[in-house]
Amino acid sequence: MSQFRLARLCLMLAAVGLNSAAVIPAVNAQDKPAAAAAAAPKDTVRPELFKLLDPAQIKPLMDAKNYAEIQSRVTQAEAFPNRTPYEDYVVNRMKLSLGSATNDNAISIPALEAVIASGRLAPNEQADFIQALANMHYNAKDYPKAIEWFKRYQKESPTPEKVAAPLTRAYYLGGDYASAKTALLPAIEATEKAGQKPSEEDLRLLASSANKVKDDAGYLVALEKLVAHYPSDDFWTDLLNRGVARKSGFDAQTNMINVYRLESAAVKQMAAEEYVDLAELSLRDGFPTEAKKTMDAGYAAGVLGKGSNAKTHSALRDKANKGAADDAKNIAAGEAGAAKAKTGAGLVNLGWAYATMDQGDKGVGFIQQGIAKGGLKNAEEAKLRLGMAQVRAGKKAEAISTFQTVKGGGGAGDLAKYWLVLLQQQK
């Protein structure tokens, strides 16, 4: 995760510098002290102090980067006894300019705090300075202080949203994951509601924050959003694991194969063991052509046929190839028997077999007949396979309509939901 580096104070205060530093009205050195005190404006600087901090003299020193001389003048100014609040304010503004120019937080932070506390800044300037101070604490990795000042900015500024992102990151980097999660989710949802795409960093932060506080449901929400907006093989694999296979009530016997089917459609490359598992499950369920294509894909991806498992992979591939060849010769002969069966299970299986042979339209038709005939042990899984067959047949609109009807537990409803996510991405 990026450090989300914020602008240095010198950038925030680029316009503050000497040109916009506090005006320093000077008392005429020739005046008598009493007369000078009577005639002077309320906010003045004594002439001897003014000589040290005169902007006309400081500016060329700053331009020449003669910071040692400026520091000397500031040190001398700080040594003046009985300074007035306004003189303190002027000295701190000068220290702030020096600290900003030299990136010296030890100078800048206390000076900036003093300037803010002076009560002499206009409201908009006060808010900018508060934000700058929060940024400085953030960049110094003093996250508790950064949080304190970001929150103050939100209270005093008409644009509290400006610091929402760094405040959230300060929470996270400071170890307050619960607050980070609480702040992130509504902001992300508001972005989506406005028809905009949340940043991947925000979504990753939400997922990580939820994970840190062991909020599995919150992590899954973040993961679903990551898959929806920034799909990757890792996100998809994690989603199918946490959002389907590891959920309570998941029917692995029926739907683990369907998890792999969706994964194979969603990712660029599966792990070697996943290609093997899908091929073996396909053979178990009587779909050798699907097993053959799965093994072919694993070999094409370069993850099968290597290492200590090379012989095992080769044997499984040979078995799948032989079964696929036999199935291609004999599948038509099974149509009559499937049609005469008391339930629609045979028709559903026949239809999926045709779908795996790239005869999508024919496959869809048989699955629909099987569902209509009824008597199925798991009608939701049959609808799930109908949707997948429609995808293979290029009937995506029909597939979407089908997946929207898949309900129930065991994983079928969750898989249908994530098929809809995938189809939306492909649109």
Q: What percent of the chain has pLDDT over 90?
A: 88
**8 A C-beta contact, residue 320 and residue 286:** no
Whether residue 181 is predicted with pLDDT greater than 70 in this model: the reply is: yes
| Tokens of residue 343, six digits | 């339930």
3-class SS letters over the chain: CCCCCCCCHHHHCCCCCCCCCCCCCECCCCCCHHHHHHHCCCCCECHHHHHHHCHHHHHHHHHCCCHHHHHHHHHHHHCCCCCCHHHHHHHHHHHHHHHHHHCCHHHHHHHHHHHHHCCCCCHHHHHHHHHHHHHHHHHCCCHHHHHHHHHHHHHHCCCHHHHHHHHHHHHHHCCCHHHHHHHHHHHHHHHHHCCCCCCHHHHHHHHHHHHHCCCHHHHHHHHHHHHHHCCCHHHHHHHHHHHHHCCCCCCHHHHHHHHHHHHHHHCCCCCHHHHHHHHHHHHHCCCHHHHHHHHHHHHHCCCCCCHHHHHHHHHHHHHHHHHHHHHHHHHHHHHHHHHHCCCCHHHHHHHHHHHHCCCHHHHHHHHHHHHHHCCCCCHHHHHHHHHHHHHHCCCHHHHHHHHCCCCCCCCHHHHHHHHHHHHHHHC
Mean pLDDT calculated for residue range 279-302: 98
Q: What tokens does 110 get?
A: 């206390």
Tens of pLDDT, residues 53-102:
999 999 999 999 999 999 999 999 999 999 999 999 999 999 999 999 99
What phi-psi label fits residue 142: left (phi over 0), alpha (psi between -120 and 50 degrees) or beta?
Answer: beta
Instruction: Report the alpha-carbon distance of residue 180 to residue 105 in Å, rounded.
Output: 26
Res. 16: pLDDT tops 60: no
CA angle 172/175/181 to nearest 5° reads 45
In tens, the pLDDT along 104-161 reads: 999 999 999 999 999 999 998 999 999 999 999 999 999 999 999 999 999 999 999 9
Q: What is the C-alpha to C-alpha distance for residues 242 and 248, in angstroms, rounded to an integer?
A: 10
Report pLDDT digits (tens) over 246-256. Answer: 999 999 999 99
How confident is the model over 221-249, as a mean pLDDT? 96
Name the pLDDT band for 42 (thresholds 50, 70, 90).
low
Task: Give the pLDDT band of residue 8 (cuts 50, 70, 90).
Answer: very low
Q: Which amino acid is at 337?
A: G
Say what angle helices 412-426 and 379-392 make with each other, to 10 degrees: 20
| Residue 12 pLDDT exceeds 50 | no
As given in the structure block, the two tokens for residue 260 are: 């792999």
Domains, the chain, with CATH or none: 2-8+46-174 (1.25.40.10), 183-230 (no CATH), 269-331 (no CATH)
Would the pLDDT of 37 be above 70? no
Residue 208 half-sphere exposure toward CB, CA atoms < 13 A: 15
Q: Which residues have a Cβ under 8 Å from the Cβ of 338 and sit 6 or more positions away?
A: 346, 347, 349, 350, 366, 370
Q: How confident is the model at residue 426 (pLDDT cuts 50, 70, 90)?
A: confident
Q: Residue 378 and residue 200: Cα distance in Å, rounded?
A: 38
Per-residue pLDDT, 21: 34
Using alpha carbons, list the distances in angstroms from residue 22 to 88, 89, 158, 252.
11, 8, 24, 73
Q: Is the separation of the CB atoms in 363 and 391 below 8 Å?
A: no
Q: How many CA atoms lie within 13 A of 147 on its CB side?
A: 15
Instruction: Supply φ then ψ for residue 240, to 5 degrees.
Output: -65, -30
Q: What is the pLDDT of residue 408?
A: 81
19: confidence class by pLDDT, cuts 50, 70, 90 = very low
- pLDDT tens for 353-392 read 999 999 999 999 999 999 999 999 999 999 999 999 999 9
Q: Which pLDDT band, with edges at 50, 70 and 90, does 5 fall under? A: very low
The mean of the pLDDT values for the chain is: 89
Indicate whether 11 pLDDT > 70. no
- Residue 18 is predicted with a pLDDT of 27
Residue 34's pLDDT is what? 31
pLDDT of 36 > 60? The answer is no
Residue 179 has pLDDT above 90, yes or no: yes
